[in-house]
């Protein structure tokens, strides 16, 4: 059996996953009725037409999240944790469809996509465990008739803008802790990779999350992303992506309600290989740490410092590994291929993750 | 992407593998390896976000550390050595949100890293339970089958 035959959508069959905006646990068209095409970068073919959210849709999603927050914040931590745990189980059960969406849309090797999806269940369970352990401290004051204590309160609606390189992982890293703490969330995936998050949204309903707790609005950075970053009811915005977009988001927050901002931007991460290192091991990890997902990895080890006396040997090993990778070039949906698309297909737009 | 590879060649790096588009449908580029890369070259300074590896030479470890830290980004770092003294020193001196020793790229919920040191902003949702905001939490993670080192530290920001 060909490796790709195990995918839920066989070649030639129309993509069957959700393609609309997810608000209040329902998939809906965009207010404008507009759609955009999402393309399989390994073939250049259109996978699906996706509803294009802009400011009007962000407004609807934030209103839904805001309304849901008033009740969600009162849901006991134990129950929030239970829902996240249930979502983790559903992610595992639906590994194949989630990984397929990720691989088709992003060009990620299917084996890497499956590994990542499997990992998501761990992240969800990890944060599920925090949900009932968010406690503050008490402090003895000088006056004997005074009581002082602190509590952790959720912020409210959290906005999340997620890039295309690891769409599901980065969304879950933002979603899981936000929900565990009692916040609600509006996520804008990259316009290049909306499909896997819409699959996850299906599971959010199945898990039993109340409507409005999780919302997903596919769209472009300058429209949907900007509206989310500027929304007065969004209390925090979290973004992973390019430095250029990060600056715009910080500025948008500063110019509106000074919402809290979390940015995880570019990298040029060094790897230092000393002359006493196990060279095979070092070369392998340096190779994998750079070429994983074709170098489209924020923490990619893109500067490898190698000590003089082992330098030539290391370069030889690096070339061997690259050669082997090239020998396995192929469709990302084929489990044996190791090397696939490269990102020149993806020019960065302002406020659009790289 | 291609312009980075051209710049690498123009600025004097040695293209030892790849560099060309792969002739097949879709958008493919050969895994590309540059040797003799110098710190001031474009490919050593800017984030390429593609399959381009830059291998840089060093002789003195202290010098390598300073050069590794000489970047506006400070996201992650890796160290390969069998010497635990070097591992500990480099791990604490490298300005990165996470330092991997004798491994690279492991990110699990338990690694407790915000994956950010500089060129990022604010505490990550990931570390919402992290120490007070005036500290910066860094994670050191090592594969103990290769080196015995698991440590964590917080340093003033």
- CB count in 10 Å sphere of residue A154: 20
Give Cα B149 distance to the centre of its chain.
19
Q: In terms of domains, do A183 and A311 share one?
A: no
| pLDDT tens-place string over residues A217-273 | 999 999 999 999 999 999 999 999 988 999 999 999 999 999 999 888 888 999 999
Chain A residues close to B125, C-beta within 8 Å: 158, 173-174, 177-178, 238, 262
Let me know whether B151 and B81 are in one domain. yes
Question: Would residue A352 count as lying in a domain?
Answer: no
Q: Measuring CA to CA, how many Å separate A210 from each of A25, A65, A75, A125, A218?
A: 8, 10, 10, 19, 21
Mean pLDDT, residues A312-333 taken together: 90
The pLDDT assigned to A317 comes to 97
Residue A4, CB-side half-sphere exposure with 13 Å CA sphere: 14
- By the CB < 8 Å criterion, does B106 face chain A? no
Is A193 in the same domain as A301?
no
pLDDT (0 to 100) of residue A310: 98
Nearest to B27 among A127, A178, A341 (CB): A341
Residue of B nearest to A344 (CA): B1
Domain carrying residue B38 = 1-57
Same domain? For A305 and A260 the reply is no
Asked if B22 is an interface residue toward chain A (Cβ–Cβ < 8 A), one would say yes
Distance CA A233, CA B22 (A): 47
Domain boundary among A264, A290, A310: A264
Same domain assignment for residues A115 and A244: yes
State the pTM of this model: 0.88
The nearest alpha carbon in chain B to A123 belongs to: B109
When CB atoms are compared, the residue of A295, A311, A340 closest to B28 is A340
Task: Indicate if A240 and A180 belong to the same structural domain.
Answer: yes
- At B46-104, the pLDDT tens digits run 999 889 999 999 999 999 999 999 988 878 899 999 998 898 889 888 888 788 888 88
- In whole numbers, what is the pLDDT of chain A averaged over residues? 90
Residues 159-178 of A with CB under 8 A from B: 165, 173-174, 177-178
Q: What residue in A sits closest to B31 (Cα-Cα)? A: A322
Task: Give the closest of A266, A276, A288 to B83, CB-based.
Answer: A276
Domain boundary among A220, A237, A264: A264
A245 shares a domain with A293: no
3-state class of B38 per DSSP? coil
How many C-beta atoms surround the C-beta of residue A309 within 10 A? 11
3-state secondary structure at position B69: helix
* Residue B19 sits in the same domain as residue B49: yes
Which one of B39, B51, B95 makes the best mutation probe of the A interface by having the most chain A beta carbons within 10 Å? Answer: B51
DSSP letter string, A299-311: T---EEEEEHHHH
Task: Give yes or no for residue B134 having a pLDDT over 50.
Answer: no
Number of domains, chain B: 2
Mutate to test the interface with A, among B2, B48, B52, B80 (most CBs of A within 10 A): B80
Domain presence at residue A331: no
For residues A171 and A235, state if they share a domain.
Answer: yes
Model confidence at B126: pLDDT above 90: no
What are B152's strand-pairing partners?
B139
Q: Could you give the residue ranges of the DSSP H alpha helices within chain A? A: 55-72, 77-93, 95-106, 110-130, 167-180, 195-207, 226-230, 243-255, 279-291, 308-327
Q: Percent of chain A scored above 70 by pLDDT?
A: 91
Q: Is A287 on the interface with B (CB under 8 A)?
A: yes
Q: Determine the distance from the C-alpha atom of residue A238 to the mean position of all C-alpha atoms in its chain, rounded to a whole number.
A: 11
Residues B50 and B68 in one domain: no
Average of per-residue pLDDT across A104-133: 92
SS3 state of residue B64: helix
With pLDDT > 90 as the criterion, what percentage of chain B qualifies?
36
Q: What CATH number does the domain containing A256 carry?
A: 3.40.605.10
Nearest to B17 by CA among A208, A325, A55: A325
CA A279 to chain centre: 33
> Can you say how many angstroms the Cα of residue A296 is from the centroid of all Cα atoms in its chain?
13
Per the CB < 8 A criterion, the answer to whether A96 and A30 are in contact is no
On whether both A119 and A219 belong to a single domain, the answer is yes
Claim to verify: residue A278 and residue A202 sit in the same structural domain? no
User: Looking at the structure, do residues A230 and A314 belong to the same domain, yes or no?
Assistant: no
Helix (H, G, I), strand (E, B), or coil: what is residue B98? strand
Q: Are residues B64 and B125 in the same domain?
A: yes
* Residue B107 with chain A: CB contacts under 8 Å: 299
pLDDT at A151: 86
In a domain, A341, yes or no: no
Among B14, B38, B57, the domain-final residue is: B57
β-strand partners of A48: A38
Same domain, A248 and A311: no
End-of-domain residue from the set B57, B77, B94: B57
Residue A121 forms part of a structural domain: yes
Question: Is A354 within the bounds of a domain?
Answer: no
Q: CA-CA distance, A103 to A325, in Å (whole number)?
A: 18
Are B101 and B138 contained in the same domain?
Answer: yes
Same domain, B49 and B76: no
Co-location of B153 and B84 in the same domain: yes
- Does A281 contact B102 at a Cβ distance shorter than 8 Å? yes
Condensed to tens digits (0 to 9), the pLDDT of residues A43-53 reads 878 899 999 99
Q: What is the mean pLDDT of residues A154-181?
A: 94
Q: Measured between alpha carbons, how far is A157 from A81 in angstroms, rounded to an integer?
A: 18
> Does residue A76 surpass a pLDDT of 80?
yes
Distance from CA of A149 to the nearest CA of B (A): 17
Please tell me if residue A156 touches chain B, with a CB cutoff of 8 Å: no
Q: Do A253 and A285 have their domain in common?
A: no
Of the residues B13, B28, B57, which one is the last residue of a structural domain?
A: B57
**B121 and B65, same structural domain?**
yes
ipTM of the complex: 0.86
Contact of A336 with chain B, judged by CB distance below 8 Å, is answered with: no
- Alpha carbon B62 to its chain's center: 17
CB contact burial A88-103 (16+ within 10 A = b; e otherwise) = bebbeebbbbbbbbbb
Q: Which of B56, B59, B123 faces A303 most closely, judged by CB atoms?
A: B56
* A window 109-138, beta carbon within 8 A of B: 119, 122-123, 125-127, 130, 134
Residue B99 and residue B153 in one domain: yes
Tell whether B42 is within 8 A of chain A (Cβ).
no
DSSP A15: P
pLDDT at A330: 78
Phi and psi of A199, rounded to 5°? Answer: -65, -45
Q: Domain range spanning residue A282? A: 270-325
Domain count, chain A: 2
Extract the tokens encoding A289: 């740490």
Is A161 within the bounds of a domain?
yes
Q: Are A161 and A239 in contact (CB under 8 A)?
A: yes
Residue A36 has pLDDT above 60, yes or no: yes
Q: Are residues B9 and B64 in the same domain?
A: no
Among all residues of A, which ones are annotated catalytic? 264, 298
Q: How many inter-chain contacts (A to B, CB under 8 Å) are there?
A: 267
* Measured distance CA(A27)–CA(A49) in Å, rounded: 14
Does B26 lie in the same domain as B42?
A: yes
Q: Is residue A344 part of a domain?
A: no
Do residues B44 and B101 both lie within one domain? no
């Amino acid at each position: 059996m060909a490796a790709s035959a195990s995918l839920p959508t066989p070649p030639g069959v129309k993509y069957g996953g959700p393609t609309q905006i997810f608000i209040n646990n329902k998939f809906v068209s965009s207010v404008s009725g507009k759609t955009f095409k999402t393309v399989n970068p390994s073939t250049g073919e259109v996978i699906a037409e996706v509803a294009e959210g802009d400011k009007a849709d962000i407004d609807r999603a934030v209103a839904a999240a805001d309304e849901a927050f008033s009740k969600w914040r009162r849901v006991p931590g134990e129950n929030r944790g239970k829902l996240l745990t249930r979502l983790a189980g559903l992610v595992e059960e639906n590994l194949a469809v989630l990984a397929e969406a990720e691989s088709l849309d992003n060009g990620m090797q299917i084996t890497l996509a499956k590994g990542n999806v499997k990992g998501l269940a761990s992240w969800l369970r990890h944060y599920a465990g925090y949900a009932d352990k968010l406690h503050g401290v008490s402090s003895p004051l000088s006056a004997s008739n005074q009581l002082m204590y602190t509590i952790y309160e959720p912020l409210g609606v959290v906005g999340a803008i997620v890039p295309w390189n690891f769409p599901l992982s980065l969304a879950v890293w933002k979603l899981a802790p936000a929900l565990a703490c009692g916040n609600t969330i509006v996520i804008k995936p990259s316009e290049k990779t909306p499909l896997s998050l819409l699959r996850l949204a299906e599971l959010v309903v199945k898990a039993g999350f109340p409507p409005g707790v999780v919302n997903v609005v596919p769209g472009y950075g300058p429209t949907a992303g900007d509206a989310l970053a500027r929304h007065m009811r969004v209390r925090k915005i979290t973004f992973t992506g390019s430095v250029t977009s990060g600056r715009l988001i910080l500025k948008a927050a500063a110019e509106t309600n000074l919402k809290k901002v979390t940015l995880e931007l570019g990298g040029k991460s060094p790897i230092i290989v000393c002359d006493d290192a196990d060279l095979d091991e070092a070369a392998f990890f340096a190779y994998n740490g750079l070429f994983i997902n074709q170098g489209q990895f924020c923490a990619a080890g893109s500067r490898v410092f190698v000590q003089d006396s082992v330098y030539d040997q290391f370069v030889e090993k690096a070339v061997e590994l690259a050669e082997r990778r090239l020998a396995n070039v192929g469709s990302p949906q084929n489990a044996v291929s190791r090397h696939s698309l490269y990102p020149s297909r993806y020019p960065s737009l302002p406020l659009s993750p790289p | 992407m291609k312009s980075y590879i051209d710049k690498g060649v123009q600025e004097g790096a040695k293209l030892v593998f790849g560099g060309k588009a792969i002739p097949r449908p879709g958008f493919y580029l050969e895994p590309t390896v540059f040797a003799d890369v110098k710190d001031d070259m474009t490919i050593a300074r800017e984030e390429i976000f593609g399959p381009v590896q830059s291998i840089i030479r060093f002789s003195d470890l202290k010098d390598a550390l300073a050069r590794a830290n000489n970047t506006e980004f400070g996201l992650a770092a890796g160290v390969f050595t069998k010497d635990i003294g070097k591992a500990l020193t480099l791990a604490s001196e490298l300005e990165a949100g996470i330092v991997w020793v004798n491994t690279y790229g492991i990110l699990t919920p338990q690694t407790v890293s915000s994956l950010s040191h500089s060129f990022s902003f604010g505490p990550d949702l990931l570390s919402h339970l992290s120490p007070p905001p005036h500290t910066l939490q860094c994670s050191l993670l090592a594969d103990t089958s290769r080196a015995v080192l698991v440590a964590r530290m917080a340093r003033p920001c």
